[in-house]
Every structure is written in C-alpha cells, then in structure tokens.
Chains A and B, each alone.
Chain A
Amino acid sequence: MVISGGLHGGQYQPLSQEQISQIHKATLEVLSNTGVEISNKTAQELLANAGARVEKERNRVYLPAELVEKSIGSAPSEVLLAGREEKNDLLLRGKRVYLGTGGTALNVLDLNNTRRPSTLEDCRNTAKLVDALDNIHFFVLPVYPNELPKEEVDVNRFYSAMQNTTKHIMGGVYTIEGIRKVIKIAEKIAGGPDKLRERPFISMITCIMSPLKFDDTYTELMLEVARQGIPLATPPCPMAGATGPVTLAGTLVQQNAEALAGIVLTQQVNPGTPVLYSAVPTTVDIRTMDFLFGSVEMGLLNAAISQVAQFYNLPIYSTSGVTDSKIPDVQAGYEKATTALLCALAGSNYVHDCAGLIERGMTVSFAQYVIDNEINGMVMRAVRGIDVNTESLAVDVINKVGPAGNYIAEQHTLKYMRSEFFLPQVSDRQTYHRWKEQGEKDGWHRANEIAEKILANHKPTPIPAEIERQLAEEIPELRL
C-alpha cells in the first residue's frame, strides 16, 4: 500500500496552548531587546526602513513586535512545492505531513558498504533512488560533489537531481551566480519564469547561524533567492547546551527568534515571497559537546516547534529521522523512528533529513534510503490513524462470523486488507526456517539488495531532449 504524503498529523502535542503563548512572548522579548546580528548592509537598510532599530557599529538589529507580527502576516500560510510531475506536488499548510531527504553530506556509504567521498554520480543515484521510493516525498539535495570546483557545484547538484527525479527538489546553494543559473535552468524546464513561480519544482536553503547571527555570505544568498520569489528555507541550527540554551524551552525560544528573523528579513525583500518557517533545533552530548542528530530531545524540539509554527499559521521546514550512528544499524533504526514519529505526529509539514542520512548528517547510505522509506511508511501509517465508521466497526461481519469462526475469507477482509495495513518491504516476517533458508540476511542486506535493484532498473521521467540540448549550449559547465 502506498500512503500518500500530506496526511494530517497533530495527534501529538507536547506543548499546551498556554506554553506556546509563553514561548511567543519570550521570543518577542529576545527579538526586540537582544536582537540579531546582521552585517549585510542591504539587509540592515531594509530592516531599518521597516521600523527596526539598527546599531551599525556592532551590526545589531532589534526587531520590534509590530514588525515581527506584520511579517508573519505577510508570509504565505500555504506554500506549494511542486514536483516536475504533478503527482509529486506538496501543498504545505496546517498540519499536513510530508517526509523527505536532507543534506549536505560529504560521504557515501555505497552498495559495497564502503565509505568514500561523495561525487556527482552519487547526486544522480540518490535522486534516482528517492524517485522510486514512495514514502520519501521530496528530495533535498543530500550530497556534495567533492570532485567539482565550487563554481560548478550549484548547477550540477540541482541539474543531476532534475534529471533523476520528478519529486520536488530543494537544495542548499553556494554562490549568487549558481542561484541565478539554477533558476534559469528551472525556468526553461518549467516553460518560463512565470510558470516556475506558479509551480516551483525547486526551492533553496540559506542558513542562519545560531545563536542569532546572519552570516554575510548566506544573507547575500538569502536576499537573492527572496528577490527571485523562489520558495526558501532559512534554517538556524541551535544545539541545546552549546549554541542554544541547555533547557529545551530556552532553545525553542531562540529557535523561534531565529526563524522569525528569517521571515522578517525575506518579507522586507519581497513581501509575500514563499518562505518557510525553518527549524533545525537539536542538541549536543552534554558530556563531550559532540553535535547530535539522533537524540530523543531533537524529536521533542521539532515536534514542539511545529506547534509554534502552527500557532503562527506558517508552513514549517523541520528536522527529524536522522541518526548519530555510523552505519545503518539498530541505533540508526531506533533514533530515526523515534524522532520521525514525534515530529510527524505533531503535524510538521516538511520534515527534512528524514531519509538516507547517517553519522550526524555527514554520510548518506544507499541502503539507508530504503530502510528509511520503510520507517517513513510506518510513520505515515501512524499519522493516518484509525478510521472509525459504520463499516470499519464491522458489526455485521462480526455477527456473520460469530464465535469461534475466522475472518480470513470474508468480503469485508478482502475489501479493506490492502488499505488497512502497512506492508513492509524490508522487514522479515517469515518463520525462522524460511529466513534461514534464504541466507539469514539482516535488514541492511535486504535493503541493500532493494537499493541495488532500483539503481539498476529504475527509469525516472527524463527531461525532454530538446531542452537538455539547449541547456547544454547555454550553460557549458553543466555535466550531462
């Protein structure tokens, strides 16, 4: 059974409405009293014109409550992240849940279980894999092509994905030139600049530094994407205990301040531009200060911050389903499942990093995409919940079968058996003996075999040859 993305979550609510309101008030206090550091002069000017107080000598910008609230109002409460094919469209709003990949990793754990630096070929293969896996709903560019010079990275990362998946593609960007060229390519494929804005099948990520700092380069990139009206995520990554307060509530306040600051700035550049409320709140191992991507607190934080975004009626880009484990093992399984479930059940809209990543996001594993596709399927099944209606209550068939009978060959069973249960592909549910006969394979081996098959056989919908020919001519650094 395929459970489509976009089902409504919200069953899990770690924060009460009163607590959300407390976080909101504390955030406004931080934004107006502490402010954020922004060294970019254009950004300073835009914000000063909008009513922010700017201390130029120390690049500090104080955002008053009215400006924050006005910006929340002008940001769209519904964002379409289209697929190159319509069946893969995501409509982010309310408590609709979609799960997808994240990046940017520098290594790949390949089909031979060898860890090596990632290449452009891995950009292609991860896209192809995700294109074939139903429970991964969108594709955030997951790896960095180590062999390419920096100025060729943006176009080739995006284009390799466009060639291999028709799911929505979002990616981090590295240069202004790169942004412009990627948008040009996407406009060509979409059929023109307007068509791309109507159905944006690409979107971009430009980061905010925690705590409370807008890096100069990233801000340049952020302003460019916002100007262009392409959907944008502006994630900060506060780590509770290191770059965020040790208390989860405190990290939520800071995370909220950073996310709202991103919205305030982009809304001054281009009011109404589709920006996502962006969140990567996580933790450190307080014993060693190691960055963590698989703690249960990360699941809690992302569930809670999703509630905060819902309070503002803003679609959210959040983070879950990652792991600190170095290999696709038991730890990877329980960390991913725990955080993904918490976040998805809170009704988070665009849960990224939720497939393929291991080793705190430093590496992707092909087998792990297949495993995470399965975890995500189970998570989406939980999000779907239990249908209760006259027919599902089954009183008639209970009466028909009666005591000591069974339901195996009943029409009622036949009617619902394919929609009621999630049917895994990786999990082994056979008897011990069958499993033994088939070579005593563990989950990694079974997943790796599936990944191998997909990479060998899957044929993504190609980009029309004529468009590809023109692109090759116009953008010579494109590696086809």
Chain B
Amino acid sequence: MSLLDELKELVVKGDMVNAVEKTQKALDEGLVPGKLIDEALIAAMDVVGEKYKSGELFVPEMLIAAKTMQACMEKLEPLVAADELKSAGKVVIGTVKDDLHDIGKNLVAMMLRGAGFEVVDLGVDVAAEEFVAKVKELKPNILGMSALLTTTVPQMELVIKALDDAGLRSQVQVIVGGAAVTPEFAKNIGADGYAPDATGAVNWAKNCMTGSK
C-alpha cells in the first residue's frame, strides 16, 4: 500500500494519532502537501461519506474521521502558500438569534471542513446584523443558517431580508436547515437550498460550487 493510501485509510478509521504521524512521514519522504490533501485527506472523506450513506459508518465515526482530517490539515496548511490552497469554497455558518442549539450546526461545519471547505463558524444566537457584517467582510460563497425551534425559525427570513437590504443577497448562496425547517419553508423565505442532514448539506454545497445544484 502506498503512503497516500495508508494515510487515507487512517483518516477513514479516525485514527488521529497515527494519521498525524503518517502525514509527517509523508512530508519527510518528500510528498507534496497539496497532493496529500487532495489524494489522501479529501479522498478519505469522500469514502467516509459513501460509507455513511450505505449505513456502514455512523455519525460519531464520521465526525471522528473529520476531526482526524482536520488534525492532518493543521500540519499541512502552513506549508502551502495561501493561493495554492485549493479551498472547495468558503462557508459562513451559524445558529440564528435566540436559538442556542448547535450540535447539528457543528456537525455540518465539521463535515464541510472534511470535504475541503473553509468554514467560519459564528456560533449560536447570531443576530441578522452579524450575519450581514460577516458576509460583507468575508465574502463567502455560501451562508448556512440553522434553527431548531419553531419560534426562532422566522429569524432566517429576517437575515435574508437584511442581506437584500444591504445589497449582498446576490453575492451569496443561502442554505438553511434544522429540525423545524422544511423544504417549503426554505423556498418561501427565499433561501437557495435546504438539507435535512449534514451529508445532505455537504452534497448541496459541493453541487453549489460546481454550479450543478
């Protein structure tokens, strides 16, 4: 098995200690960081996504694989010039105002990072003004909003309206999710996308970047 395949397997297994060690070994042997990222780390997360879809892997395993991937990335990122680092896309994500639920949102952020996206997580209880300010400042490709409660779901519409008012709506694709959100609701408030779970969100984001959503 090649070093790349070994690293890929360790990430799929979520073996963080050995994966980080293997990353260092690959670097010592002269492998190019960009190649390691594309052909081992991101490739591993593709496998993880497939295995999750088929029911072989569970969410905890997927999450640990994503964390392992992150740990390896931290070793590689400083070695890659900023313009060389091929990000799958930039995402700003957060749970809306008055809502403190973050497990689902964290899972989505983690999975997006695993798929090679650059993710800026604004946390929970994020007000519309803050979403708008961050979109203006960071110019993300995608804005993701989460809400669990029926009482906080209307916040999403306020954010989209605020983006509109600030003249930023056309610059960013908006995806919404969370237990209280339905595809119809997403459509009605003028969001571009909806996903029922983390893998759905990653797929949507990937399609969004290739323009095939």
Q: B-contacting residues of A (Cβ < 8 Å)?
A: 406, 408-410, 413-414, 417-418, 430-434
Docked Cα-Cα span, A430 to B60, in Å, equals 18
Given contacts A406-B103, A408-B103, A408-B107, contact A431 B196 (CB under 8 A): yes
Q: Is the CB of A414 within 8 A of B107?
A: no
Shortest Cβ gap from A360 to chain B (Å): 37
Q: List 24 A-B contacts (CB under 8 A).
A: A406-B103, A406-B106, A408-B59, A408-B60, A408-B63, A408-B103, A408-B107, A409-B60, A409-B63, A409-B64, A410-B60, A413-B60, A414-B60, A414-B61, A414-B64, A417-B58, A418-B58, A430-B196, A431-B196, A432-B182, A433-B182, A433-B183, A433-B196, A434-B196
Docked Cα-Cα span, A410 to B14, in Å, equals 11
**B78-93 vs A: 1/0 string, CB under 8 Å?**
0000000000000000
Docked Cα-Cα span, A433 to B58, in Å, equals 21
B113 at the interface (CB under 8 A from A): no
Docked Cα-Cα span, A434 to B60, in Å, equals 21
9 smallest CB-CB distances across A and B, nearest first, come from A409-B63, A413-B60, A431-B196, A409-B64, A408-B60, A406-B103, A414-B60, A408-B63, A409-B60
Q: Is the CB of A417 within 8 A of B183?
A: no
Docked Cα-Cα span, A414 to B183, in Å, equals 32
> What total of chain B residues lie within 8 Å of the partner, measured CB to CB?
14
Shortest Cβ gap from B188 to chain A (Å): 15
B8 at the interface (CB under 8 A from A): no
B67 at the interface (CB under 8 A from A): yes
* CB nearest neighbor in A for B103: A406
List of A residues within 8 angstroms of B61 by Cβ: 414
Docked Cα-Cα span, A418 to B59, in Å, equals 12
List of B residues within 8 angstroms of A406 by Cβ: 103, 106
* CB nearest neighbor in B for A409: B63
List of A residues within 8 angstroms of B60 by Cβ: 408-410, 413-414, 417
List of A residues within 8 angstroms of B63 by Cβ: 408-409
Interface centre among A408, A410, A417, A432 (most CB of B within 10 A): A408
**B167-186 vs A: 1/0 string, CB under 8 Å?**
00000000000000011000
List of B residues within 8 angstroms of A430 by Cβ: 196
List of B residues within 8 angstroms of A409 by Cβ: 60, 63-64, 67
* CB nearest neighbor in A for B55: A423
List of B residues within 8 angstroms of A414 by Cβ: 14, 60-61, 64
Docked Cα-Cα span, A408 to B59, in Å, equals 8
List of A residues within 8 angstroms of B14 by Cβ: 414
List of B residues within 8 angstroms of A434 by Cβ: 196
**B86-119 vs A: 1/0 string, CB under 8 Å?**
0000000000000000010011000000000000
Docked Cα-Cα span, A410 to B16, in Å, equals 13
Shortest Cβ gap from B206 to chain A (Å): 19
* CB nearest neighbor in B for A430: B196
Shortest Cβ gap from A291 to chain B (Å): 42
* CB nearest neighbor in A for B182: A433
Docked Cα-Cα span, A433 to B197, in Å, equals 11
* CB nearest neighbor in B for A418: B58
